[in-house]
Amino acid sequence: MKTSDALVLILVLLYINTSTEWPTHTVCKEDNLEIHYKSCDPQQDFAFSIDHCSDITTHTFNIRGAIVLRHSIKELYVKVDLIINGKTVLTYSETLCEPGHSKLIFCGKKKGEHLYYEGPVTLGFKEIPQGDYTISAKLTNEDHVTVACADFTVKNYLDYY
């Protein structure tokens, strides 16, 4: 039995390396709001949560995210696409880490280090729109390598005040 366990482990490990699909995780599941995400980085999955799901109606809300870095992030850029019915409607990008004095704590971390972020996120657009859509986020580093990548599926029917 132990050999078969080991075999399973080895094969699963191999599959982790070769797989391109990760499981879908649930971030929020409320009456009027559902958010799921799935890593689109073939190398790894990551952990992500939103402190109070209903806060997403505001401009700024708190998130927690953790990932083991596969690449160094001396520079870090984020690009967010809002996709409705398969069409990219909005694109937003920002520099999170730039060379020189790093603004954020995790800037400058190297490959293999553990990255944990807990804090506010300010949206590039005014507010999260209502309806069913996908938000695709991608983090890249100075070598244009994908550091993390996720597709968020959003069903948002919250009322805005």
Partner 1 sequence: MPGLLKMPRRGVLPLRTLVVLLQLALVPSQLAGCLLNPCLEVIANKTFRCTGLNISGVPAEVPNTTQNLDLSFSNLKSLGSNYFSPVPELQLLDLTRCHLHTIEDNSFKDLPNLSTLILTANSLQYLGTAAFYGLTSLKKLVLVETNLTSLTDLPIGHLHTLQELNLGHNNIASLKLPKYFSNLTSLRHLSFISNKITYISKGDLDALREVNRLNLTLVLSLNNIKYIEPGSFAKIHLGELVLRSSFEDFNGMSTSLQGLTGLHVNRLIVGEFSDSQRRVDFQSGLLSGLCHVQMQEFVLISFREFEDNTDTLFNCIGNISSIRLVDLQLEEVSEVPVLSQVKQLECKKCKFKEVPAVKLSLFKELRVLRITKSKHLNTFQQKFWGLSNLEVIDLSENRLSFTSCCSPKFHACPNLKHLNLSFNSDISVTGDFTNVKNLLYLDLQHTKLFGPGSYPVFLSLQKLIYLDISYTRTHVKSQCTFCGLNSLKVLKMAGNSFENNKLANNFKNLSHLHTLDISSCKLVQVDQSTFDALSELKELNISNNKLLIFDPVVYKPLQALRALDFSNNQLSVLLDSALEMLPDSLVLLDISQNLFECSCVNLNFLKWIKEKQELLQNKELMICHTPAYMKNVNLSSFYLSSCQLKVSTVTSSVIMLLAAAVFLFLIYKYYFQLYYSLVLLSGCKHSAERGDTYDAFVIHSSKDQEWVMRELVEPLEGGTPPFQLCLYYRDFLPGVPIVTNIIQEGFLSSRNVIAVISTDFLESKWCSFEFDIAQSWQLVEGKAGIIMIVLEEVNKALLRQRLGLSRYLRRNTYLEWKNKEISRHIFWRQLTGVLLEGGKP
- Residues contributing to the site for partner 1 (CB under 8 A): 4-5, 7-8, 10-19, 21-23, 68, 70, 101-105, 110-114, 117-119
Smaller CB distance to partner 1: residue 109 or 156?
Answer: 109
> Which tokens is 99 given?
């060379």
State the minimum distance, in angstroms, from the CB of residue 42 to partner 1: 11
> Which tokens is 51 given?
């402190």
Nearest to 63 by CA among 28, 14, 29: 28
State the minimum distance, in angstroms, from the CB of residue 3 to partner 1: 10
Smaller CB distance to partner 1: residue 30 or 113?
Answer: 113
State the minimum distance, in angstroms, from the CB of residue 159 to partner 1: 31
Q: Do residues 154 and 132 make contact, with C-beta atoms less than 8 angstroms apart? A: yes
Smaller CB distance to partner 1: residue 11 or 84?
Answer: 11
User: In 3-state terms, what secondary structure has residue 34?
Assistant: strand
User: In 3-state terms, what secondary structure has residue 54?
Assistant: helix
